[in-house]
Amino acid sequence: MNSQQCVIIGIAGASASGKSLIAQTIFEELKRDLGTDQIGVINEDAYYRDQSHMTMEDRVKTNYDHPKALDHQLLAEHLKQLKKGEQVNIPCYSYKEHTRMTKTLDMQPKKVIILEGILLLTDPKLRELMDASVFMDTPLDICFLRRLTRDVAERGRTMESVISQYKATVRPMFLQFIEPSKQHADIIVPRGGKNRIATDILKARIQHLLAR
């Protein structure tokens, strides 16, 4: 597989803006045409730095919304390897333990990689690897309400911890890093992950890139 055959689409935006939902929708709908083994989703969160050497007390103090919390270097290397037709071992991250798990996920090269994560568009070396980029422009109050519900239900958080983390780091880092990165997006998607027209436009663009 040469580099022309690996299309990488980057989807960024606030936490709980609908990145995973739109990525998953595109994955499910395109895998019917391309085959399950020819399209994959990579979550930037898998590249949070390993914190297994730290105590839980210290792990909860990490600013997870600052670019330095993520190993973008490793993510960029993995994307380059996939583009070259090589297999990679993607780290697995636990939001409950706030660290990497020992297992990794084997990913074989694919025709299409959908990359999704809050800080992807802040990094020039990642932008360089993308064939198209998207920013989910969901209102921040809606994102906060969705994050509160999701993190309590799925990520082992209390309502109080979600609120204090939101005030201390999530909102300030959104304003400092994530929102300004919108200028780098090719497509800005309003409302969220259920935006049908935006989903169809992205699917059509992927098909167009594959047909080159």
**Annotated binding residues for ATP, as ranges?**
13-20
Residue (of 190, 196, 189) closest to 25 by Cα position: 196
Task: Characterize the bridge pairing of strands 88-94 and 187-190.
Answer: unpaired
Query: Residue 65 or 123: which CB sits closer to ligand ADP?
Result: 65
What are the strands, taking DSSP E only, across 21-118? Answer: 39-43, 88-94, 99-107, 112-116
Pick from 83, 146, 157, 184 the residue near ligand ADP by CB under 6 A.
146
Pick from 19, 78, 100, 111 the residue near ligand ADP by CB under 6 A.
19
C-alpha distance from residue 22 to each of 64, 178, 194 (Å): 22, 18, 7
**CA 120, CA 102: separation in Å to the nearest integer?**
24
Residues 6+ apart with CB under 8 A from 154: 95
Query: Residue 59 or 150: which CB sits closer to ligand ADP?
Result: 150
Residue 26 touching ligand ADP (CB under 6 A): no
Query: Residue 65 or 123: which CB sits closer to ligand LLZGTKA7?
Result: 65
Residue 118 touching ligand LLZGTKA7 (CB under 6 A): yes
Pick from 1, 34, 38, 45 the residue near ligand LLZGTKA7 by CB under 6 A.
45
Per-residue burial over 11-36, b = 16 or more CB atoms within 10 Å of its CB, e = otherwise: bbbbbbbbbbbbbebbbeebeeebee
Site string for ligand ADP, 156-195 (x = CB under 6 A): ------------------------------------xxx-
Query: Residue 13 or 40: which CB sits closer to ligand ADP?
Result: 13
Residue 95 touching ligand LLZGTKA7 (CB under 6 A): yes
**CA 58, CA 130: separation in Å to the nearest integer?**
34
Residue (of 156, 157, 162, 158) closest to 144 by Cα position: 162
Choose among ligand LLZGTKA7, ligand ADP, none what residue 95 binds, the Cβ cut-off being 5 to 8 Å by kind: ligand LLZGTKA7
Q: Least distance in Å: CB of 44 to ligand ADP?
A: 10
Q: Which amino acid is at 94?
A: S
Binding site: what residues are annotated?
13-20
Applying CB under 6 A, which residues contact ligand ADP? 13, 15-21, 146, 150, 192-194
